[in-house]
């Protein structure tokens, strides 16, 4: 039979049908403990099955799928970690993303299953999915360990993105960076490593302090980073000539963003600046895919959204900033710099 040349290529549709299956393979392997079990060396499916309390044949099928996805390798000795899986998918790695992966599997996966409701109603899906009212994250992170693991997952993202973000603009004229909601301190660390003149203050809720202290103390710039506890919506902000908001504005309504930005503007000295770290949508909203998917993620799980540069410029100039610059990076976060004249 001759090929039907009038039929469009179905590749994109077929790929998207399968895309969620690939994600779930990684999620399930992390949840079952596959990568941790292989942290000490190569092992066979028959060795792993009793330890992981899994059916041997079914586990082998999952392991083979991980090989196909380049998350594992396989040879005569058995299955083994790749450099990426060792760095990002094992619980003992400082760069691990396992906390965010577990959150994606246990929470995000279920919220996204109700995306249609979010589109119809324009609100997050916590009530529909779990029967929870806000604040949303307090319902999920009920233990210190759950909070720590999620923060470590975000730390893994930060280690990938922060070095590029702090190099997006020349920040050498600033002397004190205050990272609001700075979590584990990855942005402070990257900034101080790049700019030897810089001192940094990590400002976050008290619960974030112990983990941040551990990570900062393990860096080579710990002597230039201090930690202060507080709520950036309510408490006085530490003094600085450069503030940063990393993945903060996309959580909140426009009204709350304006409230926070006004507090920052009022706290900055003349000549100071705000560094906003978010993945920017293109001006015509046609991409990039990471920002578009994160925009829908914000719809399902927060009050906020992702924005393009013009929308950030509108927010920032509304509270008084005189000049707003944007810079796209090759990692899952871009940079916006707003200057106070």
Query: What's the pLDDT tens digit per position in 157-201?
Result: 999 999 999 999 999 999 999 999 999 999 999 999 999 999 999
Q: Is 155 a residue of the active site? A: no
Quick check: 139 pLDDT over 90? no
pLDDT of residue 6: 86
Quick check: 133 pLDDT over 90? no
Quick check: 121 pLDDT over 80? yes
CA distance 272 to 17: 48
Quick check: 134 pLDDT over 80? no
pLDDT of residue 148: 86
State both tokens at 101.
């992966």
Q: What percent of the chain has pLDDT over 90?
A: 90
Quick check: 140 pLDDT over 70? no
Cα within 13 Å of Cα(78), Cβ side: 18
pLDDT of residue 136: 63
Superfamily of 154-339 according to CATH: Vaccinia Virus protein VP39 (3.40.50.150)
Neighbour tally for 29: CB within 10 Å: 25
CA distance 256 to 137: 17
Quick check: 297 pLDDT over 60? yes
Strands 273-278 and 334-339, sheet pairing: antiparallel
CB 27 within 8 A of CB 104: yes
Domains 11-88 and 154-339 share a fold: no
Quick check: 58 pLDDT over 70? yes
End-to-end CA distance of the chain: 71
- The arithmetic mean of pLDDT across residues 323-330, rounded, is 98
Q: Where are the domains of the chain?
A: 11-88, 154-339
For the 11-88 domain, the top CATH level (class) is mainly alpha
CA distance 104 to 45: 26
Percentage helix, strand, coil, to 5, in the chain?
A: 50, 15, 35
pLDDT of residue 144: 82
Beta-sheet strands, E only, within 16-137? 72-75, 78-81
> Per mean pLDDT, which range of 1-5, 142-146, 155-159 is the poorest?
1-5
Alpha carbon 318 to its chain's center: 27
Q: Which pLDDT tens digit goes with each residue over 80-94?
A: 999 999 999 999 998
| CB proximity list for 259: less than 8 A, separation 6 or greater | 233
Largest CA distance in the chain: 74
pLDDT of residue 218: 96
Instruction: DSSP for 209-270, please give it.
Output: HHHHHHHHHTSTTGGGEEEEE--TTTSPPPP-SEEEEES-GGGS-HHHHHHHHHHHHHHSPT
Q: Which pLDDT tens digit goes with each residue over 194-241?
A: 999 999 999 999 989 999 999 999 999 999 999 999 999 999 999 999
Quick check: 296 pLDDT over 70? yes
Of the listed 124, 155, 186, 250, which one is catalytic? 250
What is the rounded average pLDDT for all residues in the chain? 95
Picking from 202, 207, 211, the residue whose alpha carbon sits closest to that of residue 182 is 202
E strand or H helix at 192: helix 186-194
Strands 199-204 and 225-229, sheet pairing: parallel
Q: Which pLDDT tens digit goes with each residue over 12-56?
A: 999 999 999 999 999 999 999 999 999 999 999 999 999 999 999
């Amino acid at each position: 039979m001759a090929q039907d040349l009038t039929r469009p290529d179905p590749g994109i549709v077929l790929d998207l049908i399968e895309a969620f299956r690939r994600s779930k393979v990684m999620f399930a392997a992390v949840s079952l403990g596959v990568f941790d079990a292989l942290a000490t060396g190569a092992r066979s499916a028959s060795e792993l099955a009793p330890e992981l309390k899994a059916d041997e044949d079914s586990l082998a099928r999952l392991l083979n799928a991980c090989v196909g996805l380049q998350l594992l390798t396989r040879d005569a000795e058995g299955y083994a970690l790749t450099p990426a899986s060792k760095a990002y998918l094992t619980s003992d790695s400082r760069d691990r993303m396992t906390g965010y992966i577990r959150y994606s599997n246990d929470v995000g996966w279920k919220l996204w299953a109700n995306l249609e409701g979010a589109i119809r109603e324009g609100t997050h899906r916590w009530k529909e999915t779990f029967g929870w009212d806000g604040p949303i994250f307090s319902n999920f992170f009920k233990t210190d360990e759950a909070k720590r693991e999620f923060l470590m997952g975000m730390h893994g993202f930060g280690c990938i993105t922060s070095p590029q973000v702090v190099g997006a603009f020349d920040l050498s004229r600033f002397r004190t960076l205050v990272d609001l909601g700075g979590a584990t301190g990855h942005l402070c660390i990257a900034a101080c490593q790049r700019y030897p003149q810089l001192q940094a203050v990590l400002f976050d809720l008290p619960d974030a302090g112990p983990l941040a202290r551990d990570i900062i103390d393990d860096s080579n710039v710990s002597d230039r980073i201090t930690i202060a506890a507080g709520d950036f919506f309510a408490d006085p902000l530490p003094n600085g000539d450069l503030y940063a908001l990393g993945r903060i504005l996309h959580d909140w309504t426009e009204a709350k963003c304006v409230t926070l930005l006004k507090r920052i503007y009022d706290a900055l000295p003349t000549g100071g600046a705000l560094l906003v770290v978010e993945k920017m949508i293109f001006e015509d909203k046609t991409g990039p895919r990471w920002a578009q998917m994160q925009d829908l993620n914000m719809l399902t799980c927060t009050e906020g959204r992702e924005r393009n540069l013009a929308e950030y410029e509108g927010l920032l100039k509304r509270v008084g900033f005189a000049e707003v610059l944007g810079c796209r990076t090759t990692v899952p976060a871009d940079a916006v710099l707003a200057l106070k004249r």
